[in-house]
């Protein structure tokens, strides 16, 4: 087994566990690991596929928090945003994109951690929810990173961890499915990508289930703190990867 394959397997397993706990972190973790062995053009469909598989594997364990009324604004905004993200993928410098997202996470997450745990932002209504979904859709189209923006927004909204997880699980499944469909029509899913899909799926399954088991053990405050800390670590990883690429 060569080093590149080991990196792919390790990235899938670590990302599967992170997604099982948080509901969204597959692409952030996987891309930071795969960057050492996989070309960006191949890593994008790999990360979207892996994120989708992780969502489907854990779906039977979290669906009870699902609320259609809360999902719809996010979903409508997200479905509009995905095609924009796919178009931007051809224009963006991947390193600059990752650097910008990392800076955003390092600024936003500490602010959220300093707010009282019971703080809720109730303004903006369904339009603001749709805008959060649009942001998630754009990032999902670029590289399967549909989760951070809606997750940060629903944390700010003060949703319970069960509702947040159930709604965002459905949102992310829709975003990843839409993104993969567009990738297929634009020729981004090659034979090599399909080979990688077959490697990724079994590697992430058990870690994802272990992660969702930990999710159920966390109380609401611990879950919120864990999500924000995980996003901060992801931000640092994204910035480090970008700087290493430039150097």
pLDDT at 1: 59
The pTM assigned to this predicted structure is: 0.83
> At 125, is the pLDDT very low, low, confident or very high (cuts 50, 70, 90)?
confident
The beta-carbon contacts of 94-100 under 8 Å, at least 24 apart in sequence, are 94/40, 94/143, 95/241, 95/242, 95/245, 95/246, 96/242, 97/142, 97/143, 98/31, 98/238, 98/239, 98/241, 98/242, 99/238, 99/239, 99/242, 99/243
Residue 244: pLDDT above 80? Answer: no
Nearest to 22 by CA among 230, 241, 239: 230
Nearest to 44 by CA among 193, 204, 232, 172: 193
Mean pLDDT confidence for 109-119: 77
């Amino acid at each position: 087994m060569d080093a590149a394959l080991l990196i792919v397997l390790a990235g899938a397993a670590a990302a599967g566990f992170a997604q099982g706990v948080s509901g969204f972190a597959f692409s952030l973790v996987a891309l930071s690991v795969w960057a050492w062995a996989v070309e960006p053009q191949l890593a994008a469909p790999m990360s979207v596929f892996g994120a989708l598989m992780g969502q489907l594997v854990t779906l039977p364990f979290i669906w009870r928090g699902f609320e259609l009324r809360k999902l719809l604004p996010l979903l409508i905004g997200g479905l509009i945003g995905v095609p924009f993200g796919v178009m931007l993928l051809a224009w963006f410098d991947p390193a600059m994109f990752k650097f910008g997202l990392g800076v955003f996470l390092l600024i936003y997450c500490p602010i959220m951690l300093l707010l009282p745990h019971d703080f809720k932002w109730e303004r903006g209504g369904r339009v603001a929810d749709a805008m959060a979904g649009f942001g998630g859709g754009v990032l999902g189209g670029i590289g399967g990173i549909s989760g951070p923006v809606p997750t940060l927004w629903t944390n700010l909204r003060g949703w319970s961890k069960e509702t947040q997880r159930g709604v965002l699980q459905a949102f992310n499944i829709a975003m990843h499915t839409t993104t993969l469909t567009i990738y297929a029509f634009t020729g981004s899913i090659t034979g090599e990508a399909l080979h990688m899909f077959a490697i990724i799926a079994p590697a992430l399954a058990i870690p994802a289930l272990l992660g969702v088991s930990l999710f159920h053990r966390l109380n609401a405050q611990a879950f919120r703190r864990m999500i924000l800390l995980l996003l901060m670590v992801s931000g640092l990883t994204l910035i480090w990867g970008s700087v290493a690429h430039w150097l």
